[in-house]
Chain A
Amino acid sequence: MPSTAVKPVSTQKDSPDLFVRWQRHGDEAARETLLRQYTPLARGLARRYGRSSEPFEDLMQVATLGLLKALDRYDAARGHAFASFAVPTILGEMRRYFRDSGWAVHVPRGAQERALKVRDAQERLANQQGRAPTVHQLAEYLEVDIEDVVDALQAIQAYETLSLDAPRPRADGEVVAYGDTVGEDDERYELVELDATIAAVLGHIAPRERAILRMRFVEDLTQTQIAERVGISQMQVSRLLRRSLEQLRAMTSAADA
């Protein structure tokens, strides 16, 4: 990941007497000097380890706490460089923070918010330029990494809990609910022509999803065009398509068995 490509963290030599002054004599100025000297190390670790964590300042505080602990506990007499002692101490502090804060079991708030931002940016850019944006355009627009956008695209597929399903205003400003636009069954439904096996199970797919399948696979509309027509986001079209195809797949393989 180029954006966090490694940079030299500290090229300065350790200063054993500074550790002695702080650890033995409680010299705050010596600690201050050491803290300044090794803050880039803590920052580098926070960046490496916490790239998906927001806000960065919170994690930087935790890393600094780890650095302070390392400054207290480092034993220069053992002959190891301070950094080799500080790296595991600081990382250990960040891991504990993640475990204790529930980060390990909940979808990080930052990631959810970013997913929603990506979705909104996508609609804005699609309206501006008349076609769906690329990941690079989204990353540039939101001033985030390519990887953040890629993660967000996956997250939007995965988080069923995100409030993506609410009725949305169309480009003309009119709010439409799904039922209004795609509720009725289409008599000229042509998807059946694609595959006899599919035809047998299509009746089990909800009308809205059937309509979306038809628009994509028969009318060959893009997902953005479908989103516009149905009054939902492209992300949601993508999710519904995926879900319908999974359903079809499960039903056809059951029918084959």
Chain B
Amino acid sequence: MADKPNVILTLPSRPENVLVVRQALTGLAEGLALDAVDTNDLNTAVTEACNNVVLHAYAGRDGGGAPAQADGGGGERDGEPLEVEVTALEREISVVVRDRGVGMRPSERLEEDEEQRGMGLAVIAALTSQVEFADVPGGGTEVRMRFARARPGRPLEADAPAAGSANGAAILAPLRGSVQLQLAPGSLARAVLPRVLCALAARAYFTVDRISDVQLIAAAIAENAPGSLDGTHLAVAVNVAPRNLDLRIGPLHAGRGQSVLSAAADGLAPVIERLTDVRRVAPLGAGESLELALVDRR
């Protein structure tokens, strides 16, 4: 795949994170104006692939299927990623779901129809136009799915990346236990980021008042992204704890984090300034990151 996927998610392999993937897909489907049946196919098949990872990919390590920790706190499973990449093409959507665990052995693929995993795979096969499985170097499996679109899509409305931007190689350093997103800027980021942050704020036991603030902040970030990127994608890492949501946005061009916060930035400053509890610019790689903390004090 020559082009970088439009959406890249890296999440701890835990059941509750499948909801985050689904919200990202629903946002993506809205951004692409997919019809409801295509959206449902996409969501259903990708859910099955993610459930396979969450329930089975790391099963050898701790007995598998660890119960969800609603507080999103630590735990050894945080080092075990569920990775999802989505690329929207004119006539199809391509989705890769990847694990770094034991993966699925070939004998278990598509033949074991009466077991739950076989059932999930049969569902994936029925809803995709093409599906293939590949081993990941170093261990793991990726499921590559293609979905035909009922009607050809309009081209993605991607805002031009800022002049002098890097090639996106400088992604976030791994942040243990965090949910990480990389989104193509433009309509896609605007559609996906609010949904993902809303799902994570819900997990953090935010009240609907505060969740609505989170959506406004997400819209402000997505809107502001094109001019501030170091690379082609808007990168956001999120840590979730009860009543706390920490966001790290970046890498950004040096100096850009501060200007996002300052009043000069497109009239957005009040949203971020008034609705977040902590704002900080920190060095990250050659550039910097903007760190925001949100608390729900009730």
Contact = CB atoms under 8 A, between A and B. Distances in A.
Contacts of A91: 123, 126-127
B262 to A, nearest CB: 10
B116 interface: yes
Contacts of B162: none
A149 B198 CA distance: 11
A92 B68 CA distance: 33
Interface in A111-141: 122, 131-136, 138
A1 B22 contact: yes
A6 B119 contact: yes
Interface stretch (A22-30, A41-49, A160-168, A175-183): A41-49
A185 interface: no
B15 A2 contact: yes
Contacts of B269: 194-195
A245 B19 contact: no
Contact size range, A: 35 or more
Contacts of B48: 6, 48
A1 B68 CA distance: 10
A134 B210 CA distance: 9
B123 A87 contact: yes
Interface of A: 1-2, 4-12, 41, 44-45, 48-50, 52, 80-81, 83-84, 87-88, 91-92, 95, 98-99, 103-105, 108, 122, 131-136, 138, 146-147, 149-151, 153-154, 157-158, 194-198, 201, 216-217, 220, 222-224, 234-235, 237-238, 241-242, 245-246, 248-249, 252-253, 256
24 contacts: A2-B68, A5-B55, A6-B51, A9-B114, A49-B40, A83-B113, A84-B118, A87-B123, A91-B123, A104-B35, A131-B207, A138-B208, A146-B19, A146-B202, A147-B23, A150-B23, A154-B198, A195-B263, A195-B267, A195-B269, A196-B263, A223-B212, A249-B268, A252-B267
Given A6-B117, A195-B267, A245-B219, 20 more contacts: A2-B16, A5-B55, A6-B116, A6-B120, A9-B114, A81-B114, A83-B114, A88-B126, A108-B36, A132-B209, A135-B205, A135-B211, A147-B19, A154-B26, A154-B195, A195-B269, A224-B209, A238-B212, A249-B223, A249-B268
